[in-house]
Amino acid sequence: MFIITKFRKYLDLFFKITNFIIIILYLFPGSILGWILYGSLKLQPQLTKDFLFLSSNHFYTFLILSFIAVLSYSNKSKKLNYVFLYLFSISIILELAHIIIPNRSFQFEDLIGNVTGVIISYILIKFYEFIRR
């Protein structure tokens, strides 16, 4: 816990930078990661096989971003709730933006992956808080 306390201001900055990078990746017309890894804006790297009805890449992205938020704002319970509301909202807005962004497409599985990543991390942190009492 000392490490988290000592580096809290850096965690907050890391959360903001990570959030900014994810927004850029979502709103760019094509796959920046596909361009870096495969030399093609049309190819999307796949970390693991998709789950039954949700995109694993999107799930992992928002799960990790949510856990970074938890580490950054864990000492500010009320602010953490607003951060989760923000993450939930942006997970929906960013995927809906794919409807109008060239070379991107809205996919329901991606939307479910985004939202599920945020919800799972929220449930886990609330469960942890409940156990800790």
Q: Please give the structure tokens belonging to residue 30.
A: 């094509």
Note the pLDDT of residue 4.
Answer: 57
Q: Please give the structure tokens belonging to residue 65.
A: 């971003």
Nearest CA-CA partner of 111 in 5, 26, 17: 26
Q: Are 69 and 56 in contact (CB under 8 A)?
A: no
**Could you write out the DSSP letters of every residue in 31-95?**
-HHHHHHHS-TT----SS---SSS-HHHHHHHHHHHHHHHHHHTT-HHHHHHHHHHHHHHHHHHH
Note the pLDDT of residue 3.
Answer: 57
Average pLDDT over residues 114-130: 91
What confidence tens digit (pLDDT) does each residue in 73-114 have? 877 777 888 999 999 999 999 999 999 998 888 999 999 999
Q: For the whole model, what pTM was predicted? A: 0.87
